[in-house]
C-alpha cells in the first residue's frame, strides 16, 4: 500500500449523545468533514468510503456525499466493522488507491443521538421487541462489551487503581491539548461548536475511585473509567503518492494495515494481533513508533492491550483518547488517524505512527503510517 498517501484529515468536535450535536443526523455530521477533506485534497474523489454502526441504513456514505455537495457521479459505500468501522474504511480506501483508483475520501461517522430505534419482529401474537444493538456473535458467545472489558482486565491483572489513574490522565491530557490549541486545525466547526464536549478538568483518580462497578458485582470497570456515548465524524483524503501533483506534498504514507478476528468473548484484545500484523507489513517494531493512538473504549481494556504489546502507556494518546474525547463508534477509528495526522504532519513530531482499535464481535484493525514532509 506504499502508494496511498493521506493528505487531508479533519474531524468534527465530539459531542455527548443527547447534547450539543444531538440535532445533527449521521449524514449531516459526515457531510461536514467530507466537504472539508475534499477542499483540502483539491480534487474530486473517485470514491467515498465511510464507516457507521448505528445509523438509519440507506447507505449513509452516499447520503453524506450528496449532502456534502460532491458530484452525483461519485459513488459511496458504507462499512460496518462496528467500533473499527472508521479505521477499516480508511484501510479499504488506502487499498483502493494503491490498486489504481483516483483520490478517495474515507472515514467514519456516528450519531448516537439520532440512531433509530430497532425492533425484532413479533413472534406469534407477541409485540415487537426493541433492542439496543444487533448481536455481535452467535447466541451464547455474545458478551456485552462492558462485561467483556471487565473480565479481560481481571484476567490480565489490570487493577482498578491503574484504570482510574489512566482515565484521569486521559482527561488531563485532553484538557491540556485543547488549551494549547492542538485540536484547532483538525476540527471543523459544526453550528459554531468547535470544541470537544466531554473532557473534564480536575478529574482525579481519587474522584473516579468513588464510582461503583458498572457491569458486574466486584468488578473494576465503571462509568468513570469507560468511554462515553458520543456523536461525531472524521474523514481523510487519500491520493496516489506517485501522482505528479502529490510529489512533495506533506502527508502520511500508509505502509502497513491489517484487520483480524479474535474470540468474540474478549473483543477488546482484538487490536493486539492487528497491530502485530500491521507492524510486520511495515517492517517496524513498537520501539520504532513516534506516535501511538489506540482507541480507549475502557481503561482496563486498553491497558491490557498496552501490556500485551509492551507499550508504555505514557507514549500513547498523548493528547487524550476516547476516555476523555469520546467514542462515536463508527467514527472513532478515523479520529485516531486524524490525531496521527495532526501530530506527525501538522506538528512534525516524528516519522512513524500507529492507530489501532478493537471491535465488538472479536475484531481489531490497525494502520501504520510514515510521515512525508
Q: Which residues are annotated as catalytic? A: 83, 327
Q: Is the dihedral of CA 279, 328, 344, 106 positive or negative?
A: positive
The crossing angle, in degrees rounded to 10, of helices 60-67 and 26-41 is 60
Provide the greatest CA pair distance for the chain.
Answer: 67
Residue at grid coordinates 460496518: 80
Look at the block and give the residue holding cell 468534527: 12
Radius of gyration of the chain (CA): 19
Report the half-sphere exposure of 141 (CA within 13 A, side-chain side): 11
Q: Please choose, from the candidates 136, 150, 141, 148, the residue with its C-alpha nearest in 3D space to the C-alpha of residue 360.
A: 136
Q: Count Cβ atoms below 10 Å from residue 117 Cβ, excluding itself.
A: 8
Give the residue ranges of DSSP H helices in 130-223: 145-155, 160-179, 205-208
Nearest to residue 165, comparing CAs of 205, 199, 202, 200?
205
DSSP 19-33: STTTT--HHHHHHHH
β-partners of residue 4 are 240
Backbone angles phi, psi at 63, to 5 degrees: -60, -40
Please compute, for residue 361, the number of CA atoms within 13 A of its CA located in the half-sphere on the CB side. 20
Residue 337 three-state SS = helix
Instruction: Return the half-sphere exposure (C-beta side, CA atoms, 13 A cut-off) of residue 18.
Output: 2
Distances (CA, A) of 232 to 18, 25, 212: 12, 10, 28
Amino acid at each position: 500500500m506504499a502508494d496511498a498517501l493521506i493528505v487531508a484529515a479533519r474531524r468534527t468536535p465530539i459531542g455527548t449523545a443527547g447534547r450539543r450535536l444531538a440535532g445533527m443526523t449521521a449524514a449531516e455530521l459526515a457531510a461536514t468533514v467530507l466537504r472539508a477533506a475534499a477542499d483540502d485534497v483539491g480534487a474530486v474523489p473517485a470514491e467515498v468510503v465511510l464507516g457507521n454502526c448505528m445509523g438509519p441504513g440507506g447507505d449513509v456514505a452516499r447520503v453524506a456525499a450528496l449532502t456534502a455537495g460532491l458530484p452525483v457521479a461519485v459513488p459511496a459505500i458504507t462499512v460496518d466493522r462496528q467500533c473499527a468501522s472508521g479505521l477499516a474504511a480508511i484501510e479499504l480506501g488506502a487499498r483502493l488507491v494503491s490498486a489504481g483508483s483516483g483520490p478517495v475520501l474515507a472515514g467514519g461517522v456516528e450519531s448516537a443521538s439520532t440512531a433509530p430505534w430497532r425492533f425484532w419482529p413479533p413472534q406469534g401474537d407477541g409485540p415487537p421487541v426493541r433492542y439496543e444493538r444487533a448481536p455481535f456473535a452467535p447466541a451464547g458467545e455474545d458478551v456485552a462489551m462492558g462485561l467483556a472489558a471487565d473480565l479481560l482486565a481481571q484476567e490480565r491483572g489490570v487493577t482498578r487503581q491503574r484504570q482510574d489513574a489512566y482515565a484521569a490522565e486521559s482527561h488531563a491530557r485532553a484538557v491540556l491539548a485543547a488549551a494549547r490549541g492542538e485540536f484547532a486545525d483538525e476540527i471543523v466547526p459544526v453550528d459554531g461548536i468547535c470544541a470537544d464536549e466531554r473532557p473534564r478538568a480536575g478529574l482525579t483518580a481519587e474522584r473516579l475511585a468513588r464510582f461503583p462497578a458498572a457491569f458486574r458485582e466486584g468488578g473494576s470497570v465503571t462509568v468513570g473509567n469507560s468511554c462515553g456515548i458520543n456523536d461525531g465524524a472524521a474523514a481523510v483524503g487519500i491520493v496516489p503518492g506517485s501522482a505528479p501533483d502529490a510529489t512533495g506534498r506533506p502527508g502520511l504514507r500508509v505502509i502497513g494495515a491489517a484487520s483480524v478476528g479474535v474470540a468474540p468473548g474478549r473483543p477488546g484484545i482484538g487490536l493486539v494481533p492487528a497491530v502485530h500484523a500491521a507492524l510486520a507489513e511495515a517492517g517496524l517494531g513498537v520501539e520504532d513508533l513516534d506516535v501511538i493512538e489506540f482507541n480507549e473504549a475502557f481503561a482496563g481494556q486498553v491497558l491490557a492491550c498496552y501490556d500485551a504489546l509492551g507499550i508504555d502507556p505514557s507514549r500513547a494518546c498523548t493528547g487524550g483518547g476516547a476516555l476523555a474525547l469520546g467514542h462515536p463508534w463508527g467514527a472513532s477509528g478515523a479520529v485516531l488517524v486524524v490525531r496521527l495526522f495532526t501530530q506527525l504532519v501538522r506538528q512534525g513530531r516524528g516519522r512513524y505512527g500507529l492507530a489501532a482499535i478493537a471491535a465488538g464481535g472479536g475484531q481489531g484493525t490497525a494502520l501504520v503510517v510514515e510521515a512525508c514532509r
